[in-house]
Amino acid sequence: MSNAKVLPLLEPDGQGVTPCCPPLTERPFTADEAETAARMFKALGDPVRLRLFSAVASHEGGEACVCDISDVGVSQPTVSHHLKKLKEAGLLTSERRGTWVYYRVEPSVLAAMGKLLTMAPTAA
Amino acid sequence: MSNAKVLPLLEPDGQGVTPCCPPLTERPFTADEAETAARMFKALGDPVRLRLFSAVASHEGGEACVCDISDVGVSQPTVSHHLKKLKEAGLLTSERRGTWVYYRVEPSVLAAMGKLLTMAPTAA
DNA sequence: CACCTGTATCGATAGACGTCAACATAGACA
DNA sequence: TGTCTATGTTGACGTCTATCGATACAGGTG
């Protein structure tokens, strides 16, 4: 339940985060960069996880209780399993507050992923 | 080798394309939206595919011959397999020119994926 | 035509993954 | 303490997938 090691794809640098990789269009990814970035994409590559992630991301305050988002057509253990995967991928963090566990999306992670898909500024 | 049915995630609309889904943060994805968008993320969720895609995307003109990008540490059949997957996901198109086959990235697809990861414009 | 190079397909195999039922754990409350 | 609800973990099962060697196909060149 701890968030000790999260955001494996971004390194905090004081006033923001440094993305793991350049835009996909800037230069060919190295093996390491690809390994790192692929983890993120892979985490979002399952429909159930994508729905869970979207549910959290679009929820008020960028966070949601599991009970608020678990209506995605699979069993409760499966929901828990997918939330764990999203957490391991650095896309979500979690925190227990009393009876409920809240998952939160890190906006900077979203932004970094968006930049990955940006066209390189080639004299636009 | 035909590109008859490509870009399953975007619908051409004359002067551009209409993305399949709203930004992840706008509202919870429906099951159908998640199914569609997850296919894209899944395609990029493999390190080898990500390297191939990045190699094509960053290559001059947004296109590259297989021979230019196949040095990613796996066998030739595996490269071919992954390129096919990327094509099926609508991320690449291919065209044979003489002896060689060229793969090309559709810029609009990249842009659409980027928008998926955009923060909803909440009175920014 | 025969031959060579570049790319795709086939068939097999090992490992990863999504899913569930059963069980475990954490906190609230009586 | 016991019980109830919310969530996580375990173990098993079937399916998907990444990978390879062998082979097929396409196009150029002689």
Residue A101 approaches strand D within 7 Å at CB: yes
CA distance B61 to chain A (A): 11
pLDDT of residue B9: 46
Question: How many contacts does A have with B, using Cβ atoms within 8 A?
Answer: 129
Instruction: Please name the residue whose C-alpha is nearest to the C1' of nucleotide C9.
Output: B77
Q: List Cα–Cα distances, A24 to B59, B79, B91, in angstroms.
A: 11, 18, 13
pLDDT of A108 over the 50 cut: yes
Question: Is A13 domain-assigned?
Answer: no
Residue among A25, A48, A69 minimizing CB distance to B57: A25
**Average confidence score pLDDT of chain A:** 86
Residue A41 approaches strand D within 7 Å at CB: no
pLDDT of residue B121: 56
CA distance A74 to chain B (A): 12
pLDDT tens digits, A49-104: 999 999 999 999 999 999 999 999 999 999 999 999 999 999 999 999 999 999 99
Question: Is A21 domain-assigned?
Answer: no
pLDDT tens digits, B51-95: 999 999 999 999 999 999 999 999 999 999 999 999 999 999 999
Question: Is B56 domain-assigned?
Answer: yes
A8-22, A47-61, B47-61, B110-124: range with lowest mean pLDDT: A8-22
Question: Is B73 domain-assigned?
Answer: yes
Q: What is the CATH number of the domain that holds A83?
A: 1.10.10.10
Query: CA–C1' distance B26–C11 (Å)?
Result: 45
pLDDT of residue A107: 87
Q: How many domains, chain A? A: 1
| Structure confidence at residue B107 as a pLDDT band (50, 70, 90) | confident
pLDDT of A6 over the 50 cut: no
More confident: A19 or B79? B79
Query: CA–C1' distance B74–D20 (Å)?
Result: 9
Q: Which domain holds residue B104?
A: 19-116
pLDDT of A8 over the 60 cut: no
Question: Is A85 domain-assigned?
Answer: yes
Using a CB–CB cutoff of 8 Å, tell me whether A71 touches chain B: no
Question: Is B5 domain-assigned?
Answer: no
CA contacts within 13 A on the Cβ side of A42: 18
Three-class HEC string of chain A: CCCCCCCCCEEECCCCEEECCCCCCCCCCCHHHHHHHHHHHHHCCCHHHHHHHHHHHHCHHHEEEHHHHCCCCCCHHHHHHHHHHHHHCCCEEEEEECCEEEEEECHHHHHHHHHHCCCCCCCC
Question: Is A65 domain-assigned?
Answer: yes
Question: Is A8 domain-assigned?
Answer: no
Using a CB–CB cutoff of 8 Å, tell me whether B44 touches chain A: yes
Residue among A50, A107, A119 minimizing CB distance to B37: A50
